[in-house]
Amino acid sequence: MAAKIRKGDRVVVLAGKYRGVEGEVLQVMPKDERVLVRGVNVIKKHQRQTQTERGGIISREAPIHISNVALLVGGERVRVGFKILDDGRKVRIARKSGEVIDV
């Protein structure tokens, strides 16, 4: 299945503690249906010291479910659909306006 939300997209969180927060998608996990968004769902992790890394308490983003985010295009959140162009490319489109998201 084609991904409606991809790495590098600007999204807004729709539900939960971080509702309304905008951020960039850092990673998409299609098998788990989850995404990592910069600055959203930040957790503290106790890290043991190893030969390569320092120990201590580190902050990092935890994944959230992909249904809890919406794509932002031009500052507005949009629903995403797909369209096959005349040249055979499959692109994402905004459902309401029909605007092509991928260039």
Domain ranges of the chain: 10-77
* Mean pLDDT, residues 20-48: 95
User: What is the pLDDT at residue 2?
Assistant: 62
pTM, full prediction = 0.84
Sheet of 64-65: strand order equals: 64-65, 34-37, 22-29, 10-13, 69-73, 76-78
* Separation between Cα atoms, residue 101 and residue 63, nearest integer Å: 24
Distance of alpha carbon 23 from alpha carbon 10, whole angstroms = 6
Q: Residue 1 pLDDT > 60, yes or no?
A: no
Q: Is the pLDDT of residue 102 over 90?
A: no
Fold of 10-77: SH3 type barrels. (2.30.30)
- Average pLDDT in the 66-76 region? 93
Number of H helices and number of E strands within the chain? 0, 10
> pLDDT digit string (tens) for 18-30?
999 999 999 999 9
Of 69, 94, 90, the closest CA to residue 81 belongs to 94
